[in-house]
Amino acid sequence: MPHYVRLGQVPHKRHTRFPRADGALHTEEVIGAEGFSGLQSLAYHLHPPTLVDDIGDPVDVRVEYVDEPFLRHRHFKGLDVTPHGDFLSGRVAMLGNADVVLHVCAPTDAMPEDTFYRNASCDELVYVHDGAGRVETPLGTVPFVKGDYVHIPRTITQRWVFDEATDADGTPIQPRLLVIEAPSEFHPPKRYRNAFGQLLENSPYCERDFRPPSELVTRDEAGRFIVLIKKHGHLYPYVFRYHPFDIVGWDGQMYPYAISIHDFEPITGRIHQPPPVHQMFDAHNFVVCSFVPRLFDYHPDGIPAPYNHSNIDSDEVLYYAEGDFMSRKGIARGSFTLHPGGIAHGPHPGTTEASIGKTETRELAVMVDTFRPLMPTKAALGVEDDGYAFSWQPEKHGHPLPDAAPVPPSISGDLPASPADAAR
Ligand SMILES: [Fe+2]
């Protein structure tokens, strides 16, 4: 993140004596990216973070993609993935490439008290579709609720704890997460920032919306603490002698945080705005966008539904979180659609006409656009809606062919036209 945070105790000057209560020195650690030239934080441990007593056998967790011709629009039903496991073991990879992997996770179990997870290769951006709780890290605790994005930079040890809660009917709430894992950093797009990194007035969110760790809990405990470190597609069980949360203070710009999708202020216009107005984060070779409830276009003859488009250079994934997505039919909560580059996609039959005159949408969705092709996994094929590629056939929607579809009357005659419109 481009802004500075400080939590707990740090010495007045970096790299100077900082004694513990017993007179011995704290251990300083730089947690930084890009060889000391990227974002970093400086942390102070009670004990050396290098004290390892054992390393268990690595566990292969490489993602296996289905090697098949797949140039077609696809729909995967994410909610059909059976809940199981904990925050880590419950992950099911659905789509991915060398730049990003998209997992769903519906955990039913807690991670053991003495076990932690650290992704040494990838940053993780987790969209909380359902559930609430907290992420415990050595840099402090990040509480989260439904609708939050939680960003854990790589190398930050983490442990997720979910609240036990019920909905209004008394049904236990099953946590559901969309995990976006990437070997690059997630940043606000450059066009939202000034030359100094500060978010601009016309950015759809600002620094105040980011929620860094709010509480630093320092654990001075000896024992056997297992950190499952992910690297090279394997989990390495490292056994540390001291509790990994032994930091008494830190400062810098590398830290976990949460930001709500509801804090993304939509950018709207008189006519349909293109998908980049929904962009939330930038990463290497892909972007993350948030489609949030918003007012529709206000040109009197505007068509709120999107136009058909061919993504020549990217594959487009939409994860549908809430509400009716105005341009799609047959899509449910937790659905993924994959619209690969090179073939056009657009509104389903009837949705363009139906959108005219509508003033707002309550849709909520996360979009990931990649610049290299995405591949599905076997698990994704297990929850695929096979007919999706042909779902634009008008007869499947009980709708006349487009040439014969009725066109709603113009309402511009009832409204003042702009000088430019009047001149046409
Ligand atoms: Fe699209």
**The pLDDT of residue 331:** 86
The predicted model gives 252-264 an average pLDDT of 97
- Between the CA of 32 and the centroid of ligand 1 the distance, in Å, is 36
- Between the CA of 339 and the centroid of ligand 1 the distance, in Å, is 7
Closest CA to 108 of 60, 157, 173: 173
pLDDT of 86-101, one tens digit each?
Answer: 999 999 999 999 999 9
pLDDT of 78-88, one tens digit each?
Answer: 999 999 999 99
229 falls in which pLDDT band (50, 70, 90)?
Answer: very high
- Between the CA of 237 and the centroid of ligand 1 the distance, in Å, is 41
Instruction: Name residues with Cβ closer than 5 Å to ligand 1, which is an ion.
Output: 316
- Between the CA of 343 and the centroid of ligand 1 the distance, in Å, is 11
- Between the CA of 315 and the centroid of ligand 1 the distance, in Å, is 9
- Burial status of residue 136 (CB atoms within 10 A of its CB: 0-12, 13-18, 19 or more): buried
Indicate the DSSP class of residue 389: G
**The pLDDT of residue 269:** 94
343 falls in which pLDDT band (50, 70, 90)?
Answer: very high
- Between the CA of 233 and the centroid of ligand 1 the distance, in Å, is 31
**Integer Cα distance of 207 and 228 in angstroms:** 32
- Between the CA of 290 and the centroid of ligand 1 the distance, in Å, is 13
**Residue 211: CB partners within 8 Å, gap ≥ 6?**
142, 143, 257, 258, 259
CB 181 within 8 A of CB 100: yes
**The pLDDT of residue 401:** 62
Residue 64, SS3 per DSSP? coil
**The pLDDT of residue 419:** 57
**Residue 410: CB partners within 8 Å, gap ≥ 6?**
300, 301
- Between the CA of 345 and the centroid of ligand 1 the distance, in Å, is 6
Q: How far apart are the first and last CA of the chain?
A: 48
- Between the CA of 307 and the centroid of ligand 1 the distance, in Å, is 9
> Phi, psi at residue 271, to the nearest 5°?
-125, 170
**The pLDDT of residue 259:** 98
**The pLDDT of residue 68:** 74
Give yes or no for residue 184 having a pLDDT over 60.
yes
Strands (E) in 184-326, as ranges, are: 222-231, 234-242, 247-252, 257-260, 279-283, 286-291, 294-295, 309-310, 315-322
Give yes or no for residue 405 having a pLDDT over 70.
no
Gyration radius of the chain's alpha carbons: 24
312 falls in which pLDDT band (50, 70, 90)?
Answer: confident
**The pLDDT of residue 131:** 97
CB 336 within 8 A of CB 368: no
- Between the CA of 279 and the centroid of ligand 1 the distance, in Å, is 13
- Between the CA of 74 and the centroid of ligand 1 the distance, in Å, is 13
- Between the CA of 196 and the centroid of ligand 1 the distance, in Å, is 33
- Between the CA of 357 and the centroid of ligand 1 the distance, in Å, is 21
Question: Parallel, antiparallel, or unpaired for β 115-119 and 222-231?
Answer: parallel
69 falls in which pLDDT band (50, 70, 90)?
Answer: confident
- Higher pLDDT: 329 or 110? It is 110
- Between the CA of 250 and the centroid of ligand 1 the distance, in Å, is 42
From the CB of residue 35, how many other CB atoms can be counted at a distance below 10 Å? Answer: 6
**The pLDDT of residue 423:** 56
- Between the CA of 188 and the centroid of ligand 1 the distance, in Å, is 21
- Between the CA of 379 and the centroid of ligand 1 the distance, in Å, is 24
- Between the CA of 340 and the centroid of ligand 1 the distance, in Å, is 9
- Between the CA of 356 and the centroid of ligand 1 the distance, in Å, is 19
Segment holding 351, helix H or strand E = helix 351-355
- Between the CA of 325 and the centroid of ligand 1 the distance, in Å, is 12
- Between the CA of 126 and the centroid of ligand 1 the distance, in Å, is 22
**The pLDDT of residue 406:** 60
pLDDT of 185-218, one tens digit each?
Answer: 999 999 999 999 999 999 999 999 999 998 999 9
At residue 83's C-alpha, the angle toward residues 81 and 88, to 5°, is 105
**The pLDDT of residue 421:** 58
Pick from 155-159, 176-180, 392-396: least confident: 392-396
- Between the CA of 342 and the centroid of ligand 1 the distance, in Å, is 12
Pick from 288-292, 344-348, 392-396: least confident: 392-396
- Between the CA of 367 and the centroid of ligand 1 the distance, in Å, is 9
**The pLDDT of residue 410:** 64
pLDDT of 89-136, one tens digit each?
Answer: 999 999 999 999 999 999 999 999 999 999 999 999 999 999 999 999
Looking at the DSSP assignment, which residues form a beta bridge with residue 258?
Answer: 150, 211
- Between the CA of 219 and the centroid of ligand 1 the distance, in Å, is 47
**The pLDDT of residue 265:** 98
Segment holding 185, helix H or strand E = none
**Integer Cα distance of 67 and 378 in angstroms:** 10
**The pLDDT of residue 324:** 77
- Between the CA of 63 and the centroid of ligand 1 the distance, in Å, is 26
- Higher pLDDT: 410 or 269? It is 269
Mean pLDDT for the chain? Answer: 92
- Between the CA of 142 and the centroid of ligand 1 the distance, in Å, is 33
- Between the CA of 81 and the centroid of ligand 1 the distance, in Å, is 24
Residue 337 token pair: 């659609």
**The pLDDT of residue 256:** 98
- Between the CA of 53 and the centroid of ligand 1 the distance, in Å, is 51
412 falls in which pLDDT band (50, 70, 90)?
Answer: low
**The pLDDT of residue 291:** 96
Instruction: Please report, as a single letter, which amino acid is at residue 252.
Output: G
The predicted model gives 326-340 an average pLDDT of 86
Looking at the DSSP assignment, which residues form a beta bridge with residue 187?
Answer: 282
CB 249 within 8 A of CB 7: yes
